[in-house]
Amino acid sequence: KNELAGQPSFQSISEFYAGKNVLITGITGFLGKVLLEKLLWSCPQIGHIFALMRPKRGESIGARLDSLLASRLFDRLRQDRPDFRSQISPLQGDLYEPNLGLSQKDIELLIRNVSIVFHSAATVRFDEHLKIAVQMNLEGPKKVAELCERMPHLEALVHVSTAYANCDRRVVEEAVYAPEVHPQKLLDAIEWMDDDVLEQVTPRLLGQKPNTYTFTKQLAEFYLTDRFSHLPIVIVRPSIVGASWQEPLPGWVDNFNGPTGVFAAISKGLLRMMQGDVRCKADIIPVDIATNIIISSVWNFRLFSRQATVYNAGVGPGNRLTWGDVERITPEYFVCNPTQSVIRLPKASFTTNSLWCNINWLFNHQLPACLMDLWMYASGRRTVFVRVSNRIRKSTRSLDYFTSREWVFNNTNVLSAMDRMSPSDRLEFDCDASKVDWRLYLERYCTGVKQYALKEDLDDNGSARAHIRKLQRLSLMWNVLLCVLVWRFTLKRVPLAHTMWVLMLNLAMSLFEKLPRLARS
């Protein structure tokens, strides 16, 4: 039974969304695409979906949407409902612009029709300049909320945040925490403050936050719930969003953010060590599970508990995946299922020692990259390896903070929503990451990196496997040669080692001479 008065009977999640018109921002992003597909697939009676998009590189929003929907992500929809495109209307807009860059006609259209808003657009670059991060991750949600204020039929504004918005706390509850800097003061400051001055004061503003992304995400949470407390706001905080577990395609991923970029670099032999603690939890939430939590959070909020406004969408306390598991399983997979154009054998290791990590990077990454570029230059080809190595180093450094620590994201509201679901909804909108087989998930993830991110043919593995076998032979030869050289150097430089070596040889020769006599006896 419903816990709120006025709700006559139980509604499934699909029934709840039936006939409701939805606005989604950020549908060109990884999470936004999966959210769009899942709403259309599992809630076929949903009203109309309006998608805020901006033109890109001379491509109209209609063309961008058609290109997005041509992805394999939407294969099952194309097969089951070829006309699903008619349920989506792209609207030209831009979070950087006043009124979201919407025309007056489109604003009136949204005000009249929309009842649920999913705001997932954000800049996810950890090293983003503070001004851009504030404009996108703080001012953007502010503009969306101002539009929502004018919607008479609004049932929920869902703000997709991150579990690491409060990463300066080891235990994160499903609550909004007040930041040290008031969001409005920062919004006022970026209007007049010079970019160079703002960059100088950024470290002091961030405090214990590792980057502008987590900093602005916390500001947005507080600002929305403080300034727009009269709106029905739901905040969903996914942890590290990774490839899909089951839907709509196992292992689907189309970007190189976070772990995906790390896995791709490992697959090519371009990354062999990064900073991290193998004992720490790798809180990677599959994108399909994160999407199901986002969709079900509105249903739970509207029908059962208006107090449940924050949902921590992490893996939860049980069924741990650690960075040690990633270190072991990922290279194993890519040796058995190699990608094309592998430079070195796939290997991976994490270390908590920053000095050792830097030394290893210099000799095991930067030096080989320089030698490869020198060879490329001598053969008249374009040099790329140092540039790629620097990009990988910059990317992994931005992840060091998260791979070296562990958090507890309490998810009481997520568990309560799951308990209230019918058995069929639990299957259709699976929110339980504790049941994921992590080894199988990582193998699917790596397959997805190869198939969808790197766009390589899974069936064309013959030449790649032959190349891996060649690299294995070369690696063995190099290790043997290295051992011989080290041993020779030791014999010459260390008298004790030379004496022991002579004794061992004499003993071996003595035994060899006695073998015939021992055999006769």
Identify whether 113 is part of a domain: yes
Give yes or no: residues 123 and 173 share one domain.
yes
Task: For 410-426, give one letter per residue: b (16+ CB within 10 A) or e.
Answer: bbebbeebbebbeeebb
Give yes or no: residues 53 and 150 share one domain.
yes
Q: What is the CATH number of the domain that holds 147?
A: 3.40.50.720
Can you tell me the distance from the alpha carbon of 231 to that of 220, in angstroms, rounded to the nearest whole number? 14
Which pLDDT tens digit goes with each residue over 434-466?
899 999 999 999 999 999 999 988 887 777 777
Give yes or no: residues 414 and 514 share one domain.
no
Q: If you compute the radius of gyration of the chain from its CA atoms, what whole number of angstroms results?
A: 28
Can you tell me the distance from the alpha carbon of 290 to that of 104, in angstroms, rounded to the nearest whole number? 34
Residue whose entry in the numeric block shows the structure tokens 């208006």: 306
Give yes or no: residues 487 and 415 share one domain.
no
Give yes or no: residues 51 and 150 share one domain.
yes
Which pLDDT tens digit goes with each residue over 200-223?
888 999 989 999 999 999 999 999
Can you tell me the distance from the alpha carbon of 325 to that of 331, in angstroms, rounded to the nearest whole number? 11
Give yes or no: residues 424 and 503 share one domain.
no
Which pLDDT tens digit goes with each residue over 55-74?
888 788 999 999 999 999 99
Which pLDDT tens digit goes with each residue over 388-442?
999 999 999 999 999 999 999 999 999 999 999 999 999 999 999 989 999 999 9
**Nearest 10 degrees: Cα torsion 348, 352, 354, 359:** -40
**Domain-terminating residue out of 367, 399, 429:** 429
Can you tell me the distance from the alpha carbon of 466 to that of 152, in angstroms, rounded to the nearest whole number? 64
Mean of pLDDT values over 2-15: 63
Give yes or no: residues 473 and 421 share one domain.
no
**How does residue 468 score in pLDDT terms, banded at 50, 70 and 90?**
confident
| DSSP state string for 66-100 | HHHHTSGGGHHHHHH-TTGGGGEEEEE--TTSGGG
Identify whether 161 is part of a domain: yes
Tell me the residue range of the domain where 485 lies: 467-520
Given this model, what pLDDT does residue 8 score?
42
Identify whether 393 is part of a domain: no
The one-letter code for the residue type at 409 is: F
Give yes or no: residues 424 and 471 share one domain.
no
pLDDT at 2 over 50: no
Can you tell me the distance from the alpha carbon of 521 to that of 350, in angstroms, rounded to the nearest whole number? 56
Of residues 191, 185, 180, 173, the one with CA closest to residue 227: 185
Contacts of 21 (CB under 8 A, 6+ apart): 47, 48, 49, 50, 113, 114, 115, 116
Of residues 147, 142, 144, the one with CA closest to residue 220: 142
Name the token pair of 521: 């006896």
Give yes or no: residues 147 and 243 share one domain.
yes
Can you tell me the distance from the alpha carbon of 516 to that of 521, in angstroms, rounded to the nearest whole number? 9
Q: How many domains does the chain have?
A: 2
Q: What percent of the chain has pLDDT over 70?
A: 93
Identify whether 262 is part of a domain: no
Given this model, what pLDDT does residue 487 score?
66
Can you tell me the distance from the alpha carbon of 6 to that of 14, in angstroms, rounded to the nearest whole number? 20
Given this model, what pLDDT does residue 380 score?
87
The one-letter code for the residue type at 497 is: A
Give yes or no: residues 81 and 175 share one domain.
yes
Tell me how far CA of residue 484 lies from CA of 359, 490, 495, 503, in angstroms. 24, 10, 17, 18
Given this model, what pLDDT does residue 7 score?
46
Identify whether 92 is part of a domain: yes
Given this model, what pLDDT does residue 310 score?
94
Identify whether 160 is part of a domain: yes
- Mean pLDDT score of the chain: 89
**How does residue 4 score in pLDDT terms, banded at 50, 70 and 90?**
very low
Identify whether 383 is part of a domain: no
Identify whether 353 is part of a domain: no
Strands (E), 173-306: 233-238, 240-242, 273-275, 284-286
Contacts of 363 (CB under 8 A, 6+ apart): none
Give yes or no: residues 155 and 245 share one domain.
yes
Which pLDDT tens digit goes with each residue over 121-142?
998 888 889 999 999 999 999 9
24: enclosing H helix or E strand: strand 21-25
